[in-house]
Structure 1
Amino acid sequence: MHSIGLIGGTFDRFHAGHHSLLLAGLEKCQKLEVWMTSDRLVQAKDSRILSWDERAAELLNFIGEDLSSSLSINSLEDNVGPAPTHSEAGAIICTSETRANCEEINLQRQKNGLGVLEIIQAEYVEAHDGKPISSSRIRAGEIDSEGNSWIPKNSRQGVITLTKEIESKLKDPFGILCEGPEDDLSVAILGALEVAGDGASPIIGVGDVTILGLQLVGINADIGLIDEKTQRQKWHGYDDINQSNFDNILNCINPPGKLTPSLLDACEIAMVNYHNDESTLIIVDGEEDLAPLFLHPLAPIGSVVLYGQPHRGVVLRLTGIDSKTRCRRLLNAFSSE
């Protein structure tokens, strides 16, 4: 048993893989020094990474009081931290991805006249799809912290139907209402984009009015959904939408009050296209009103989802763990056919 073990990493969106890494270290070390990448270093990597304080709080909250007394959390300001010169450490904990770094650290320690650290390699924890759980996959919106899909099984097995109970929960705007006059779509759209902030992406627009409104202010949605209607009535402005602005056009079927595998497939393809730097317009035969319930679970953290609110303006919701959790819970409550 080593007195001190070292672990370094970003530890963003603390997940089951992180937990496994800590447990592997504590099996062979009395104490662990966790060296968590500083805010200065991570912002150059991905702006969606939580702050150092938030990451530290998540880690401590996840592991609980019993384990928290066995570790300390420190700020990592470079690629190696104190490992090459730490005289009291006896082990370093890693994954297969970071093992080479640990071997390099041991070479540096030998040059410094110190003994090598035992390299404790933890196995990856697999997500539902057999791929490793990782912070980058969580930020990309693919999985939750336990490796589960954000899309429940009922949504993949067939058509699901909106219940009266769920309908009542969806009546109030799910996000921030940005108001503007009906005869000038740009007011609400520009207000929503200002709230979202510079650089937020992807921009996902739901509804013909929203897609046209974005185009009128010079912005093309990364993902757009239209059904040629507004408030369930044929909309004359549909023809003004420039479909040629989109790299891809998909068609799907989704009757009113329902969510279909056809719509889900289209949304998933659109997300793949986005990651390949291509935009997608989904033309829905039926209605696209409930599509945000699929879009939030599929979208990367920080995505901008916009949809129209009749007679009032545009609703903005940024995709986050909270919106994903809410949508998954609502989808599970739909009635299966």
Structure 2
Amino acid sequence: MLTLPTALRAAFKEPFGPVYAEADDLLADASSEDADAPLVAVGDVVTFHLRRAGRPPDVAVVDGKTKREAVGEEIRRAVETGRLVEVENEPGTVSVALVEALVAALDDPDPTTLLVEGEEDLATLPAVLAAPVGSTVVYGQPDEGMVRVAVTDAAKSEMRDLLARFDGDFDAVVAPIDA
């Protein structure tokens, strides 16, 4: 497991890509790059908005919360659809189990929702690492909107560098991605 050190928290204040208020605008930009590439959503509200806009994510990572509070029933019902896989990931961490589940979900041709027991807030980093170049990872920026990360070699390098600065066994956590 990797744990976010307090000194690194500031690195997560600024979004890793453009911020969108509307899912339709985000999807238009994402599909102009590679319409067939996987779409990964991190967060219940983001997943809800993408599904409501008519583009369910290929992989959704949800924990039943938004801003540390339980999501409403409408959102919970909308995001907990399709193939559901439960995974544990403690708050402020990235677990090997989460990374393994992301890799498996991206390899599965059917849409998959990872139901995280704990917290999915940091799942964007391993999602970018695990997704193929050309994919899109979307996560929520509290009180701002949805952030679209285009998966490029540079984005993968940035996420790998950030994860390497976490406390814990970096090699063990990224092993499922590097396999």
**TM bracket (short chain):** 0.7 to 0.9
Residue 227 (structure 1) aligned to one of 26, 47, 63: 63
Q: By how many angstroms is 1:272 displaced? A: 1.3
SS in 1 for 2:120: coil
Alpha-carbon distance change, 242 to 296 in structure 1, aligned in 2, over 3 angstroms = closer
Q: Aligned residue for 1:192? A: 26
Q: Aligned residue for 2:42? A: 206
Sequence identity (%): 31
Q: Which has the higher contact order (CA 8 A, sep 6+)?
A: 2
1:301 equivalenced with 2:133 (yes/no):
yes
**Paired amino acid for 1:243:** E
**Paired amino acid for 1:306:** V
Separation in structure 2 between the aligned mates of residue 306 and residue 287 of structure 1, nearest angstrom: 16
Separation in structure 2 between the aligned mates of residue 160 and residue 250 of structure 1, nearest angstrom: 21
SS in 2 for 1:283: strand
SS in 1 for 2:98: helix
Q: Aligned residue for 2:5? A: 163
Query: Unaligned regions of 5+ residues in structure 2, if any?
Result: 170-179
Aligned partners of 2:43 and 2:61 also within 8 Å? yes
Q: CA RMSD in A?
A: 1.4
Q: Aligned residue for 2:99? A: 264
Aligned partners of 2:58 and 2:106 also within 8 Å? no
Moved more, 210-219 or 316-325: 210-219
Q: By how many angstroms is 1:200 displaced? A: 5.0
Query: Unaligned regions of 5+ residues in structure 1, if any?
Result: 1-158, 181-187
Task: List 4+ stretches of structure 1 deviating above 2 A.
Answer: 237-240
Q: By how many angstroms is 1:241 displaced? A: 1.1
Residue 78 (structure 2) aligned to one of 241, 248, 251: 241
**Any residues of structure 2 matched to 1:270-289 within 5 Å, and which?**
270-273=105-108, 277-289=109-121
Residue 17 (structure 2) aligned to one of 175, 184, 190: 175
**Paired amino acid for 1:310:** P
Separation in structure 1 between the aligned mates of residue 84 and residue 43 of structure 2, nearest angstrom: 15
SS in 1 for 2:97: helix
Separation in structure 2 between the aligned mates of residue 296 and residue 242 of structure 1, nearest angstrom: 21
**Paired amino acid for 2:29:** V
Which protein is richer in helix relative to its size?
2
**Paired amino acid for 1:328:** R
> What TM-score do you get using the length of structure 2 for normalisation?
0.87
Aligned partners of 2:42 and 2:138 also within 8 Å? yes
SS in 1 for 2:7: helix
